[in-house]
Amino acid sequence: MSRSNNKANDADFEKNITSQPSFTLADINQKIGTTLRGDGSCVISTVASLTNAKAGALTFCENGKHTQHLKNTQASAVILTEEDLPHCPTHALISKQPYLSFTKVAALFSHTCALTPGIHPTAQIGQHCVIPSSVYIGPYVIIEDHVTLGEHTAIHAHSLIGHHSQLGAHCILWPRVTCYSFVSIGHHTAIHSGAVIGSDGFGYQPSPEGWQKVPQLGSVVIGNHVEIGANTTIDRGTLEATSLADGVKLDNLIQIAHNVQIGENTAIAACTGISGSTRIGKNCIIAGGVGFAGHLHITDNVTITGMAMVTKSIDEPGLYSSGTGLFTNKEWKKNIVRLRHLNELALRVKALEEGAK
């Protein structure tokens, strides 16, 4: 087993919070590839919304949506389009996509903490593990036998990694993440608290004696640059792998059943449920609360709006919705009454059409 021999005391494992950074506007301009208008020596020490920004803050204005607020902003600098520049009372960074540029700046001010590499004394490490000295393993982590971790990966408190699992470099598991056995995770992947990766798929077969459990012998394979939200669950495959390709982004409280495959750069919002053996393509956007029946195929570049119920495969890219918007209770009752007579009305219309021929 390869592992760090430096077991520090509790104090050595405390987070070293760095001081609040600051940058000149010229520095930021160079880092994010915008065009500077104004004083490049202006110091930026924080980011803020357009209406709440004060001196020292950088903010953004997206495509003229908030011009009235832009005129009165107290920010030291604003990221905006060329079209909005005449309304800006302060220094500016010009971008074709202001919000995207702003997110890059916000990352410079994120409240990340430096972690001292090493293994906390309360962690339990199994046999035949490969753990580089650059890895951080926090309090009460359990790592079972034959686990391999990549360089600079961080496993936070009370997480568990099952035997024969692999994590790539620069991964982060936040507190109380559970990875069952034989899970494979790529590089630069983040998994948030409470997520469960590799639990048994919901497989049962009826028999005279009751429900017979179908053994779930597959695994879970997760690619690079994936993010998995808090309390999201991903079931292992029945015989093969449940898989998430590179760049997939999952919100909190998502259920992904056994044998599901999700393509590159697809993003899925909270409370979506995906039934077994469904395949979702690349670059899809799935809004919150969407339900998928099993064994479906969703092609690339599909967007599905919130609370939709997907009962059949989608073969053409585009925007899809189902269900109805919100009504007052009185309107909803009237529409339901009419809906109950829809078949009768259709038959009457058909009879009238045939009589007119």
Q: Same structural domain for residues 339 and 314? A: no
Helices (H), the chain: 25-32, 67-70, 98-108, 329-340, 342-356
pLDDT at 17 over 60: no
Active-site entry in 225, 258, 295, 297 = 258
**36 and 72 assigned to the same domain:** yes
Same structural domain for residues 27 and 154?
A: no
Contacts of 50-53 with C-beta under 8 Å, sequence gap 24+, read 50/75, 50/78
Could you tell me what percent of the chain has a pLDDT over 70? 94
Let me know whether 303 and 156 are in one domain: yes
What DSSP character marks residue 11? G
Question: Mind listing the pLDDT tens digit for each residue in 270-329?
Answer: 999 999 999 999 999 999 999 999 999 999 999 999 999 999 999 999 999 998 888 899
Question: What mean pLDDT do residues 130-159 have?
Answer: 98
Range of the domain at 139: 123-320
* pLDDT value of residue 1: 44
Q: How confident is the model at residue 19 (pLDDT cuts 50, 70, 90)?
A: low
**Whole-model pTM?**
0.87
**Looking at residues 97-112, what average pLDDT do you find?**
91
Give the pLDDT confidence score for residue 112 in this predicted structure: 67
Identify whether residues 305 and 218 lie together within a single domain: yes
What tokens does 223 get?
């690619």
Same domain, 343 and 207: no
Query: Same structural domain for residues 252 and 309?
Result: yes
**9 belongs to a structural domain:** no
Does the active-site annotation cover 225? no
